[in-house]
Amino acid sequence: MTKRKKGNARLFGFVLAMALIAAACGGGADDTATTGADGGGDAKELTPITLQLQWFTQAQFAGYYAAVDQGFYKDLGLDVTITQGGIDILPATVLDSGAADFAISWVPRGLVPREEGLNITNIAQIFERSATLQVSFKDKGITSVADLAGKTVGNWGFGNEFELLAGLRSAGLDPDTDVTLVQQQFDMLALISGEIDAAQAMIYNEYAQVLETTNPETGELFTADDLNVINWNDVGTAMLQDAIWADADKLESDPEYRANAVKFVEASMRGWIFCRDNVDKCVDIVLAAGPTLGESHQKWQMNEINGLIWPSSNGIGLLDKSLWDQTVSVATTESILTAPPTDGAFRTDIAQEALDNLKAAGVDVNGSGWTPITVELKPSGE
């Protein structure tokens, strides 16, 4: 009996030790960014705001991280916390549940849950252009959509494939019979190992990944000269991507929330304008928020993201009705939506107010003089 007691005492000691170790690990990395309290001189009460991203920290969201880092949100009285996305996290759902105040989502991925009953609305269309490409190696000879006939064509599925399907139809191809569609992983292995002839790629991410990959045949990096690219913006089946979404009911019922929405959009626009004019600084901000990300890859991404926003025809964030209609038209013909969205799926008054404030402050909201820089990608994107 004494022996057993001793054993139990040891066991208790062991569990206690484990608990202490776990508690000591308590100071681990935190994945949220806040405006922080640096030098917090003014005693102004900040309104806490949570922003739900569609994916993990990367330059795709640089404008928001920059607005936190540069204090743009704080200047307008907001304390913004950025929550990263996950594989099974749908920003629209998080927004609707009240766990986030605003969310970043592609337009189709906001409209589908909206049709299913979530009352959310697009308040600022940040990206004017689509970033989705269909990429293939030169030897496949795919220079136009029609060349995809008879080929094995990769796509990510889950709502990422509609520009491709609509594009195929626009070239007179039947997606069911004229091409072999296969689901592709998020990496570019299937393209590089030759399992598929053409792969879906974001111009700011997977396309660059190919250029950061060593060709196992030659031992050198792949180059843009090795690739053919189909750009859906040129084909005319592009769909609108990153936009800021808000809770539509709350905008109507809660004047304070609406006022905060204007402030949030305005400060976010400032963040994006800052990243247009300070690419290197924004890359630093993103790298600090995502310490395992590669530097040259994020710089490439920042430059390409700028190209999706700038030059901005109507001023950043102000939705272009013709591109909206094109998105809706693709969505309905591809049966993503059963009917065009009801009124209130987007509103431009909030973005307009934010733009007016910025213009009054003498900020360039169109970036008509913007030109891309040249980014040299390093192996592994480092």
Q: How do 102-105 and 243-247 pair as beta strands? A: antiparallel
> What x/- string results for residues 197 through 236 when contact with another protein is judged by CB under 8 A?
------------xx-xxx-x--------------------
Nearer to another protein, 43 or 87 (CB): 87
Among 297, 309, 317, 319, indicate the residue that binds another protein (CB under 8 A).
297
The reply on whether position 378 binds another protein by CB under 8 A is yes
Q: Which range binds another protein by CB under 8 A, 5-13, 71-79, 346-354, 367-375?
A: 5-13
Among 51, 76, 90, 316, indicate the residue that binds another protein (CB under 8 A).
90
370: its two tokens: 């913007």
Cis status, amide bond into 311, omega within 30 of 0:
yes
Among 16, 18, 146, 361, indicate the residue that binds another protein (CB under 8 A).
18
The reply on whether position 30 binds another protein by CB under 8 A is yes
The reply on whether position 117 binds another protein by CB under 8 A is no
Among 86, 150, 172, 236, indicate the residue that binds another protein (CB under 8 A).
86
Q: How far apart are CA 313 and CA 370, in angstroms?
A: 12
Nearer to another protein, 18 or 146 (CB): 18
The reply on whether position 380 binds another protein by CB under 8 A is yes
The reply on whether position 26 binds another protein by CB under 8 A is yes
CB atoms within 10 A of CB 36: 12
Q: How far apart are CA 22 and CA 20, in angstroms?
A: 5
Helices (H) and strands (E) in the chain, counts: 15, 10
Q: For 116-244, where are the alpha helices, taking DSSP H only? A: 162-170, 189-192, 206-211, 232-235
Instruction: Give the three-state DSSP class for 78.
Output: strand
Q: How do 47-52 and 78-83 pair as beta strands? A: parallel
Q: How do 132-137 and 227-231 pair as beta strands? A: antiparallel
Q: How far apart are CA 156 and CA 186, in angstroms?
A: 7
Q: Which range binds another protein by CB under 8 A, 29-37, 241-249, 256-264, 316-324?
A: 29-37
Nearer to another protein, 212 or 266 (CB): 212
Residue 359 corresponds to which amino acid?
K
Nearer to another protein, 89 or 363 (CB): 89
Identify whether the C-beta of residue 230 lies closer than 8 Å to the C-beta of residue 167: yes
The reply on whether position 348 binds another protein by CB under 8 A is no
Closest contact distance (angstroms) between CB of 378 and another protein is: 7
Nearer to another protein, 32 or 144 (CB): 32
Closest contact distance (angstroms) between CB of 127 and another protein is: 20
Closest contact distance (angstroms) between CB of 368 and another protein is: 33
Instruction: Give the three-state DSSP class for 247.
Output: strand
Among 154, 271, 294, 315, indicate the residue that binds another protein (CB under 8 A).
294
The reply on whether position 239 binds another protein by CB under 8 A is no
Q: End-to-end CA distance of the chain, in Å?
A: 62
Q: How far apart are CA 73 and CA 268, in angstroms?
A: 8
The reply on whether position 22 binds another protein by CB under 8 A is yes
Among 34, 47, 93, 357, indicate the residue that binds another protein (CB under 8 A).
93
Identify whether the C-beta of residue 131 lies closer than 8 Å to the C-beta of residue 202: yes
Residues 148-187 that bind another protein (CB under 8 A): 185-187
Burial of 39 by CB count in 10 Å (0-12 exposed, 13-18 middle, 19+ buried)? Answer: exposed
Tell me the CA distances in angstroms from 270 to 100, 277, 365, one per residue in order.
Answer: 21, 11, 9
Among 34, 47, 89, 314, indicate the residue that binds another protein (CB under 8 A).
89
Residues 36-75 that bind another protein (CB under 8 A): 56-57
Instruction: Please name the residue that has the structure tokens 């070239």.
Output: 171
The reply on whether position 79 binds another protein by CB under 8 A is no
84: its two tokens: 């990263």
Binding footprint of another protein on the chain (CB under 8 A): 3-4, 7-8, 10-11, 14-15, 18-19, 22, 25-26, 28-32, 56-57, 83-90, 93-94, 97-100, 185-189, 192-193, 209-210, 212-214, 216, 287, 291-297, 378-382
